[in-house]
Chains A and B, each alone.
Chain A
């Protein structure tokens, strides 16, 4: 199911609280965190991951979409990506013809794509993604799947 700005029922306050808890736990347990710290993907891994993410963003916003990657992390077979979708120079996204029109109009939309993927024999499989969602989207995913908390820990 599409996980966009409209999909989750958790409150923004709840999300922020959980995000803060995640950050605090990461700071309080440096030894544990270092034992399972996330790593940055190799170029090859990143290309494979972004290929999957790009496919769904293209499907929703229309191709071609490029990304400015803010964060890309790997841990225990999971990948988390936080990126800004981009068009070629001089082009823009026509959100008014997408499902995000209302969110954009009312300022409830961040130009941001987040995605959670898991590696398998079939390659990288998309578990969740969000277009336009803000901080805290990932916290919902932690509740849903057995994703290690450290995947979302602040950068060292």
Chain B
């Protein structure tokens, strides 16, 4: 093979590599309607943003109805990356709880999301799409808001089951470390929580 043809083939190979990389890129791109910035940092990291579009089905991608439970892997903490099916499934499992209490639509600015085995811990601030503020005037939380005893974030513990990610614990507006009492109350490994008291 001549040097000319070798050069052409090498150029074609580089072009194919570039195209393959471009084709793979959307897999990690933000989901439609997601707030830019990334999220789910480990404690101490700067809070980022995440949130799927309202209307996505609860317990979405990644769930296999009737499938086996994910075996617990105690101690191994993973942070589902923004745009990943696992992260979307967890947030979509949580979203109906918030929507029921504050109305639709809701997206999340995720501060913390941690997965250990079949358990997930989420701390996130709900907002209207585009960053709109949620007004609690119509909700059970208005008295707490008036009293200055309301932190506009949701904290939840979810469990992956054959029926999808189910909400195990949930609190909206807590001003203290609400999940401390969950540690003894549930089967979830302590590593799923942001820190151990």
Taking A56-B97, A127-B140 as contacts, is the C-beta distance between A2 and B103 under 8 angstroms? no
Assembly CA distance A120 to B96 (angstroms): 18
> Binary interface profile of A, 69-113, with partner B (CB < 8 Å = 1, else 0)?
000000000000000000000000010011100000000000000
List A105-156 residues whose CB lies under 8 Å from chain B: 118, 120-123, 125-128, 144-145
Identify the closest chain A residue to B161 (Cβ): A97
Other-chain residue from B58, B102, B103 in contact with A63 (beta carbon distance below 8 A): B58
Q: Which of A59, A94, A127, A144 has the most CB of B within 10 A?
A: A59
Determine whether the beta carbon of A1 is less than 8 Å from that of B161: no
Determine whether the beta carbon of B164 is less than 8 Å from that of A126: no
Other-chain residue from B93, B162, B172 in contact with A1 (beta carbon distance below 8 A): B172
Determine whether the beta carbon of A59 is less than 8 Å from that of B94: yes
Complex contacts, A53 vs chain B, CB 8 Å:
100
Q: What's the tally of chain B residues with a CB closer than 8 Å to chain A?
A: 30
Identify the closest chain B residue to A121 (Cβ): B138
Q: Is B169 an interface residue (CB 8 A)?
A: yes
Assembly CA distance A97 to B99 (angstroms): 24
The number of inter-chain residue pairs (CB within 8 angstroms) is 81
Determine whether the beta carbon of A2 is less than 8 Å from that of B138: no
Determine whether the beta carbon of A128 is less than 8 Å from that of B94: no
Assembly CA distance A98 to B159 (angstroms): 8
Complex contacts, B69 vs chain A, CB 8 Å:
97
Other-chain residue from B100, B162, B168, B169 in contact with A126 (beta carbon distance below 8 A): B100
Q: Is B42 an interface residue (CB 8 A)?
A: no
Task: List chain B positions with a Cβ less than 8 A from chain A.
Answer: 58-59, 69, 93-94, 96-97, 99-104, 138-140, 159, 161-164, 166-172, 185-186
Task: List chain A positions with a Cβ less than 8 A from chain B.
Answer: 1-2, 6, 52-53, 55-56, 58-63, 94, 97-99, 118, 120-123, 125-128, 144-145
Interchain Cβ contacts under 8 Å between A and B, 28 examples:
A1-B171, A2-B171, A6-B185, A53-B100, A55-B100, A58-B58, A59-B58, A59-B96, A59-B166, A61-B163, A62-B162, A63-B58, A63-B59, A94-B161, A94-B162, A97-B69, A97-B163, A99-B169, A122-B102, A122-B104, A123-B104, A125-B101, A125-B102, A125-B103, A126-B101, A127-B140, A128-B140, A144-B140
